[in-house]
Structure 1
Amino acid sequence: MGILQDDVVIIRQPDKEGGPTVITVNCPDKTGLGCDLCRIILFFGLSIVRGDVSTDGKWCYIVLWVVGREKTRWSLLKKRLIGACPSFSYAFGIYYYRSELQQPPKPPDVFLLKFCCHDRRGLLHDVTEVLSLLCELELTIKKVKVSTTPDGKVMDLFFITDTRELLHTPKRRDDTIQQLTDTLKDALISIEIELVGPEIAACSQASSFLPTAITEDIFNLELPDPGRGGVFTSDSISIVMDNLLSPSHTLVQIMCQDHKGLLYDIMRTLKDYNIQISYGRFMTKPRGKCELDLFIMQADGKKIVDSSKQKSLSARLRTELLRPLKVTVVSRGPDTELLVANPVELSDKGRPLVFHDITLALKMLGICIFSAEIGRHAIGDREWEVYRILLDEGEGSPLPRNKIEKGVWNMLMGWE
């Protein structure tokens, strides 16, 4: 008797209106599985308010309580979560017979979505919302180049991939164009989607180095200034590591302020350090506080006893909890530029919906976007997804730059 595929992920709707939806995952374990699941849940615009994780190293049992969007496509979410789980053969050591694991997976096709339209406030956010949210088109934005012409027209170039891998078919392409046409309405002048060659696809994903001035602008502050857009201080986070409570695991206890994607940020950090969670418990408390207890071990199955490794992991966790994204607003002569840096996992994935949240924040602030660009860049020893957005502050009195930064930061952190 085995577990049916439909039983790998079970989603139970709340008994009472307004209560959390419970997601149960029961599947073979792998390092980083929690990160992958949390990223998908975040991609669907949901927040995790409670979680329990347990594993024996081969099999795991995860329960997550989530809240969020009313129009969530739960069947699609279930499909994506099942897709992130290892196959059953993985748990029994026979996965090496699978031909697809004998060679690296084929990278997804990259398409160029190009459209020209008349500019209007909030236009870029409306397009990004249709493209980014999995409940709409299931398209992933890899790179963006947006520019505004002197006569008030906008030329947008989106390098995208298709989760369904069907964008090469006429029907899928026509459906995508139709949804975007319905969104843009009378503002649309022209729109087309084309498959790009491997050379252009490589350029759309390749890392490059940013000018020193820009990296200094983004990373000039180690911690967010509470007056500019955050309420975190070093005292608001407690990280304690203990090797006495368990004979085989290191206990990590974290107390901190809640924010959007908090559990993802923690899981992403542990995944990058190749650390396995054997048991974990996560719970939100009143006034936005969170508590986590994690029993972890290294890839070799041992505790973290080296003090330097403990300090390194603790410092990285503290940094990711204090400032999971870098946000700053700087002057470029007479212009104002918004810079946001999103860390990329070692598995080549970044936090989802960042561009969506940036454009939504600017739309709510009443600020138009003159030009925008997204690219992957190597900064220090890490890769970052960097968003460079030149703001069009119009003819009225411009907003104070600390207010712009605070509005964007609060939206990204889920404090809007």
Structure 2
Amino acid sequence: MGILSDDVVIISQSEKEGDPSVITINCPDKTGLGCDLCRILLFFGLNIVRGDVSTDGKWCYLVFWVIGKPNTRWNLLKMRLVEASPSFSWAFGISRCYLSDSESQPPKLPDLFLLKLACSDRTGLLYDVTEILYKLEINIEKVKISTTPDGKVMDLFFVTDTRELLGTVKRRDEVYEYLRDAIGESLISYDIELVGPEIAARSQASSSVAETLFSSDVSGEQLSGLHTSSNVSIAVDNSLSLVHTLIHITCQDHKGLLYDIMRTFKDFNIQISYGRFTIKRGRNCEIDLFIVQSDGRKILDSNTELLVTNPVELSGKGRPQVFHDIALALKKINTCIFSAEIGRHVMGEREWEVYKVLINEEESLPFQKSKIEEQVWTTLMGWE
């Protein structure tokens, strides 16, 4: 049992160049659906200039205003959007047992293939190859390119196939024909083979640049040369709705912005009940999202962080019974500890012990933070 694809996705192409086309999607809802759809729009090179999303928890209605390219493959786009939309049975609980079993298992990763190309180097060669792979809906997962002194290039592309047909001879021949027409006489050899994910992992060499970018200890001076946006505002409001948390974001638009936001919510299993995305003058955009957690509740910070620091002796010994006194102080005021961590931190020439305790407010008696601080301080000083 299913829904006609014409009812699921409707694309109204713009009649005037520069005006947005309108994509309407009407289908059952699921957590992360917005991320999946925005990823497809990004894959097809579309720029979202406006968006509206609404759902009742089972059924959702999404409208995207997008700017396309002259060569946008609208029919193929519609097919991919329909494939990403949940089936009719999802909304009405049909095959519910099957869904429960499948959700308990990690999603199956697509087969990984190694595409090897040997070519004579020329300007624009890499662009021509990537453009062909894009048109064929082949995703590049990792790549390694090397050039020899005599002008030969060996390109290694670890790829997955959106159509999941790269294991067939017909699909491989199709890829070869497209690449041969695009590369021309520069093509020396071509090969595609199925590989395991462990091979791709070994192929990725460590890089000092990558280590710098992804290090948690990057300093402000190191970041000063990177392109970052300073006009970002994120506000969280729980007062406007009894059941939803409002996330209001103002920032500068960039390619794939809505996908990046949706992906973040999907990773944290956050459900978007209603959302609106608009671009104001220039590249400034505003996003309003009414969200709930997977359990249907608002996003509330139920933990308070308590920090206690203490200098360490030059011999490396810390002050005795600090953590004991912290736990005792919290017990006296019936405050529950959610998690605790003890570490050391060097500042200047002095080493400090740092005690970080998260207090669970939901399971504790209501106390002002000043009362907690006072009780911990009094116990540590032995003034009671």
Tell me if both proteins adopt one fold, taking TM over 0.5 as the criterion.
Answer: yes
Mapped to 2, the partners of 1:288 and 1:221 lie a distance apart of 29
Structure 2 counterparts to residues 344-363 of structure 1, below 5 A: none
Report how many aligned residue pairs link the two structures.
300
Structure 2 counterparts to residues 137-148 of structure 1, below 5 A: 137-148=136-147
| TM-score, reference length from structure 1 | 0.66
Matched with 2:212 is: 216
Matched with 2:248 is: 253
Matched with 1:14 is: 14
Q: Confirm or deny: 8 A CA contact 2:116 2:191 kept in the other structure.
A: yes
> What is the letter of the counterpart of residue 164 of structure 2?
E
> What is the letter of the counterpart of residue 119 of structure 2?
C
Matched with 2:79 is: 79
Q: Confirm or deny: 8 A CA contact 2:2 2:88 kept in the other structure.
A: no
Q: Deviations over 1:61-118 (max 9, x none)?
A: 0000000311111111111111111111111122335489486665433222111111
Structure 2 counterparts to residues 19-34 of structure 1, below 5 A: 19-34=19-34
Q: Confirm or deny: 8 A CA contact 1:141 1:161 kept in the other structure.
A: yes
Matched with 2:39 is: 39
Q: Confirm or deny: 8 A CA contact 1:117 1:190 kept in the other structure.
A: yes
Quick one: structure 1 residues 3 and 191, their matched pair in 2 at CA, closer, same or farther if it must change by over 3 Å?
A: closer
Quick one: structure 1 residues 214 and 18, their matched pair in 2 at CA, closer, same or farther if it must change by over 3 Å?
A: closer
Give structure 1 stretches of 5+ with no counterpart: 310-416
Q: In the alignment, is residue 269 of structure 1 matched against residue 295 of structure 2?
A: no
Matched with 1:401 is: none
Q: Confirm or deny: 8 A CA contact 2:53 2:61 kept in the other structure.
A: yes
> What is the letter of the counterpart of residue 93 of structure 2?
G
- The alpha-carbon deviation at position 206 of structure 1 amounts to 7.6
SS of equivalent residue, structure 1 residue 42: helix
Matched with 1:112 is: 114
Mapped to 1, the partners of 2:129 and 2:173 lie a distance apart of 16
Higher relative contact order (CA 8 A, sep 6+): 1
Q: In the alignment, is residue 169 of structure 1 matched against residue 168 of structure 2?
A: yes
Structure 2 counterparts to residues 8-407 of structure 1, below 5 A: 8-98=8-98, 101=102, 106-131=108-133, 133=134, 136-196=135-195, 200-204=196-200, 210=206, 214-219=210-215, 220=218, 228=225, 230=227, 232-233=229-230, 236-306=231-301
The higher radius of gyration belongs to 2
SS of equivalent residue, structure 2 residue 78: helix
- The alpha-carbon deviation at position 209 of structure 1 amounts to 9.2
Q: Confirm or deny: 8 A CA contact 2:244 2:298 kept in the other structure.
A: yes
> What is the letter of the counterpart of residue 180 of structure 2?
T
Q: Confirm or deny: 8 A CA contact 2:172 2:192 kept in the other structure.
A: yes
Q: Confirm or deny: 8 A CA contact 1:143 1:205 kept in the other structure.
A: no
Find runs of 4+ consecutive structure 1 residues off by over 4 angstroms: 97-100, 102-106, 205-214, 221-226
SS of equivalent residue, structure 2 residue 119: strand
Identity %: 61
> What is the letter of the counterpart of residue 71 of structure 2?
K
Mapped to 2, the partners of 1:85 and 1:148 lie a distance apart of 43
Q: CA RMSD in A?
A: 2.8
Mapped to 1, the partners of 2:209 and 2:179 lie a distance apart of 37
Q: Confirm or deny: 8 A CA contact 2:143 2:156 kept in the other structure.
A: yes
Quick one: structure 1 residues 257 and 106, their matched pair in 2 at CA, closer, same or farther if it must change by over 3 Å?
A: closer
| TM-score, reference length from structure 2 | 0.71
Quick one: structure 1 residues 207 and 223, their matched pair in 2 at CA, closer, same or farther if it must change by over 3 Å?
A: farther
Matched with 2:318 is: none
- Range with greater deviation from structure 2 (285-294 or 166-175): 166-175
SS of equivalent residue, structure 1 residue 83: helix
Mapped to 1, the partners of 2:11 and 2:246 lie a distance apart of 29
SS of equivalent residue, structure 1 residue 291: strand
Give structure 2 stretches of 5+ with no counterpart: 305-384
